[in-house]
Amino acid sequence: MRRPSIQTQQVYQAFLDAPTEETYGFELVKATGLPSGSVYPILRRMEAANLVTAREEVIDPNAPRPRFRVYYRLTGDGMRAARAATRERTDVLQRLSPGWNI
């Protein structure tokens, strides 16, 4: 198994900050400081590996084209993967995002 990138570790850590909560992609973009072009591919890979579950919710049903948001939550396997991936990099992650409580 290959080692997760620092960007993936940042996404994992953002999930671990509120492990039982759902979050959507843009919240992860804000929490990690990563561009959406990095976060969304990471989320797709995590979903394909069954590390997160995703559900869509319509946020503006009256818009000409309904707008929706995708909410993500770590699975049990995702929680284990997140803890393992961030264990070695805790100090680095805290320096990158000082507000995180690990």
Taking a C-beta distance cutoff of 8 angstroms, is the pair 84, 18 a contact?
Answer: no
- The residues pairing with 55 across neighbouring beta strands, listed in sequence order, are 71
Question: Considering the domain boundaries, does residue 77 fall inside one?
Answer: yes
Question: Considering the domain boundaries, does residue 20 fall inside one?
Answer: yes
Question: Considering the domain boundaries, does residue 59 fall inside one?
Answer: yes
CA 70 – CA 83 distance, rounded (Å): 23
**Exposure string over 65-74, b if 16+ CB within 10 A, otherwise e:** eeeeeebbbb
Find the domain containing 48 and state its range: 6-96
pLDDT tens per residue across span 28-77 = 999 999 999 999 999 999 999 999 999 999 888 888 888 889 999 999 99
Question: Considering the domain boundaries, does residue 92 fall inside one?
Answer: yes
Out of 27-31, 34-38, 79-83, 86-90, which region has the weakest mean confidence (pLDDT)?
86-90
Question: Considering the domain boundaries, does residue 102 fall inside one?
Answer: no
Residue 95 backbone phi and psi in degrees, to 5? -70, -35
H helices, E strands: number in the chain:
5, 3
CATH number at residue 17: 1.10.10.10
Question: Considering the domain boundaries, does residue 78 fall inside one?
Answer: yes
